[in-house]
Amino acid sequence: MITLTTFAWVPDFAAPLMRAFRVRWALEEAGLPYNVRTVTLGPEQKSPEHLARQPFGQAPAIEEDGLVLFESGAIALYIGEKSEKLLPRDRIARERATAWVFAALNSIETWALQLGIIDFFHAKEESTKERRPQVEKLVRERLGQLENALGDKDYLEGEFSVGDLMMADVLRILDHTGIFQDFPGLSAYKQRCAARPAFQRAMTAQLEGFRKAA
């Protein structure tokens, strides 16, 4: 059985956005049972035991049958290998789904996360007045490109895959901005993904864990 390592508690604004959610969601979509191990922020996070699981002291990490794996994208693809719901067996569909995982992490999250960091941690700094509009412009450009690629499809390749799971979760980083008012196609896409029962189960489990630890 897979053991997921995540943080025992994070601040409220970060609770629904923790990358461990991607792992929980993938496990729920695949219908795989799992255990949860938690580590606390601070000394335990930097302990040799945790660094052996996650070299940078972050979360998530998983363990199964002697394999220790970190980075949410790698973990999601590993889980996808166990479920056709996430990674199709058809060669072309499989490679396309994998490409969207990398697109979510490299082409979208890179800029979405910059905007989130500015808004959550540097909103009152003088340099933000100049930097934020530049970053938002780049975010909007990427979102426009993504919306064009989605077109009128329900999901990026027609059927839900691990690529949609990763992309929809990355897009949630921007929920606080109201930017999706200008991208109705992506707004509907994000809502469609969040309405999936596996998403709902994973979010409930993640938030409940943080509430118990608070």
Structural contact between residues 180 and 174, judged by C-beta atoms closer than 8 angstroms: yes
Specify whether 78 is located in the same domain as 173: no
Question: What is the pTM (predicted TM-score) of this model?
Answer: 0.95
Specify whether 192 is located in the same domain as 107: yes
pLDDT of 128 reads 87
Specify whether 98 is located in the same domain as 165: yes
- Give the domain CATH number at 19: 3.40.30.10
Specify whether 34 is located in the same domain as 99: no
Residue located via tokens 């930017």? 179
**Residues forming a β-bridge with 4:** 36, 62
pLDDT of 129 reads 87
* Cα 25 from Cα 169, distance rounded (Å): 10
Residue 156 DSSP SS3: coil
pLDDT of 137 reads 97
What is the mean pLDDT for each group of 10 consecutive residues in the chain (214 residues)?
A: 96 93 98 96 96 97 98 98 96 98 98 95 88 96 98 97 98 96 98 98 94 78
Specify whether 48 is located in the same domain as 108: no
Specify whether 14 is located in the same domain as 107: no
Instruction: Examine residue 60 and say whether the peptide bond preceding it is cis (omega within 30 degrees of 0).
Output: yes
Specify whether 119 is located in the same domain as 79: no
In terms of residue numbers, what domain contains 70?
2-85+198-213
Q: How many CB atoms lie within 10 A of CB 105?
A: 18
Specify whether 63 is located in the same domain as 112: no
Q: How many domains does the chain have?
A: 2
pLDDT of 87 reads 98
Specify whether 96 is located in the same domain as 13: no
